[in-house]
A and B are shown apart, each in its own frame.
Chain A
Amino acid sequence: MNKTFLFKPYQYPHPAALEQWLEQKASEGWYPDRLTHIHSMGMRLEKREPMQYKYIVDLQARCTAEYRRIYADLGWEYVGRMSSMHIWRQAYDDVPPASFTDMDSLNSRNRRFYIAISIVFWVMMLLVAVLAGVFLLERFGVLAIQDDPVDIWVDRIMPIVILGTVGTFIGLSARRVRHRK
């Protein structure tokens, strides 16, 4: 049995809140397995025996062999990554294990998270501003678009969306290949 939760990583403004949600789901017997980039839009959880798990949400632009080795050496299981967001977990009985054990590293993790969220937010705002600008210029006759609204979407907006999606995919793939070397 499984359940899919839509846009979960975007619903929490703080990484600790996403960790708590995952831990609560584990206590109810729901677990994410093999997270990949696409799961930021729909996170599928599988039903198993409920257990106590500590989850860690970490942000690292580069997932180096050293990074994964240090976490693995200290008993963490790699659940997967969604963009630069890496998810780790570890089962425990009494005391939950910690990954960020001093304020410097915890604040640094949180700062990286806010920067990533801010970039996504401002890119979205820029996109909205461009679309609103085009609409207003056309509305007040500064920009004369004679085409049918459907044609505008097909001829102008969709190519930008498709090129953007393909470019992002190629960029992510190229980065993954480079980091494997």
Chain B
Amino acid sequence: MKQKIGLTTPMSETMIYILLSLQEEMHGYGVMHRVKKMTQGRIVLGAGTIYQTLGKLEKNGLIQCIREEDRRKIYRSTPLGKEMLEAEKTRIHQLYQNLEAYL
């Protein structure tokens, strides 16, 4: 599925966190704050990274712009985006289990 929609596998950490944030309606600036809070300040997304990643996710149909407020686009994940997150969750869970078992 990932090859079909043109994204490299696995998804980058940035992409996963942005997609995860957009399970709720949010604009780019809100995404930056949400990711910072979720990672306890470990990941602070820059403007260029947010703009590019939102564009890539929207182009691949994983998020969509639902409206605009004060020249800010408000995005939300699509069903395909949620499906991709579920697939990543399975992959990362397996990775975690293997690290626990063999490290």
Please tell me which one of the listed residues A76, A88, A102 contacts residue B13 in the complex, with CB atoms under 8 A apart. Answer: A102
Taking a contact as CB atoms under 8 Å apart, the answer to whether B28 and A70 are in contact is yes
Any B CB within 8 A of the CB of A69: yes
Q: Is A67 an interface residue (CB 8 A)?
A: yes
Q: How far is the CA of A85 from the CA of B15 in the complex (A)?
A: 25
Contact with B along A61-73 (1 / 0, CB 8 A): 0000111111101
The A-B contact count (CB < 8 A) is 67
Q: Which of A56, A65, A70 contacts B29 (CB 8 A)?
A: A70
Tally chain A residues at the interface, Cβ within 8 Å.
Answer: 23
- Interface stretch, picked from B46-54, B77-85, B86-94, is B46-54
> In the bound complex, what is the Cα–Cα distance between A69 and B51 (angstroms)?
10
Inter-subunit contact B47/A99 (CB<8 Å): yes
B residues less than 8 Å from A76 (CB atoms): 47
Given contacts A70-B28, A73-B28, contact A99 B71 (CB under 8 A): no
Q: In the complex, which residues of chain B have a beta carbon less than 8 angstroms from the beta carbon of A70?
A: 28-29, 47, 50-51
Closest to A67 in B: B51
Contacts of B12 in A (CB 8 A): 102, 104
A100 to B47, CA, bound (A): 7
B73: CB under 8 A from chain A? Answer: yes
Given contacts A100-B46, A101-B43, 14 further A-B contacts (CB under 8 A): A56-B48, A66-B28, A68-B71, A74-B50, A97-B46, A99-B46, A100-B48, A101-B45, A101-B46, A104-B12, A104-B15, A104-B49, A105-B53, A108-B52
Q: Which 10 A-B pairs have the closest CB atoms?
A: A99-B48, A73-B29, A101-B46, A105-B49, A99-B46, A70-B28, A74-B47, A71-B47, A65-B71, A102-B14
